[in-house]
Amino acid sequence: MTTQELIESISGYLPYKLYMQVKFKTLDELCNQIGNIIGKGFRKNDVKFILRPMTDLSKEIIVNGYNNNEPFIPAYIFTRSKDKEIQKQIIHDICKSPFLMRHWIINLLYQWHFDVHGLIEKGYAIDANLVQTK
């Protein structure tokens, strides 16, 4: 994946506070690299974006600023059904072809930081479930 392709892949998340893990030891080192991220010296291996795997669509999640910060199951939001088979079908459809979904579904996937581009598998992102938060 080229740097341009990576930037295009993350652009949908940017309005929704895309979190990342960086490999820097000092604040000076981080500040110097920010200039490179903006410029042409961006090194993809220095940054890992924190995203949810698509398998989390069937699990309770909490998203700051959504649903009064209460847990919810994304598949239920998409189907408005508690029927597990209906939820399973929509999850299958979303995972197979997320960009064939309605625009509002794609926006929610970005807002909730779901990995619609397979960046975890490609090594450019890490599973949000594996990140310890304070």
pLDDT for residue 101: 84
pLDDT for residue 25: 52
pLDDT for residue 17: 84
pLDDT for residue 24: 55
Greatest Cα pair distance, the chain, in angstroms, is 52
pLDDT for residue 47: 76
Q: Enumerate the β-bridge partners of residue 21.
A: 48
Flag residues of the chain having pLDDT under 50: 38, 40, 42
Overall pTM surpassing 0.95 (yes/no): no
Positive or negative, the Cα torsion across 36, 41, 45, 49? positive
Between CA 37 and CA 71 the distance in angstroms is: 34
Cα–Cα–Cα angle for 48, 49, 51, nearest 5°? 130
pLDDT for residue 71: 95
| Residue 125 dihedral angles phi and psi, to the nearest 5° | -140, 160
pLDDT for residue 121: 94
Contact 120, 52 (CB under 8 A): no
pLDDT for residue 31: 56
Between CA 42 and CA 102 the distance in angstroms is: 33
Between CA 21 and CA 95 the distance in angstroms is: 25
pLDDT for residue 21: 79
Residues 6+ apart with CB under 8 A from 101: 93, 94, 109
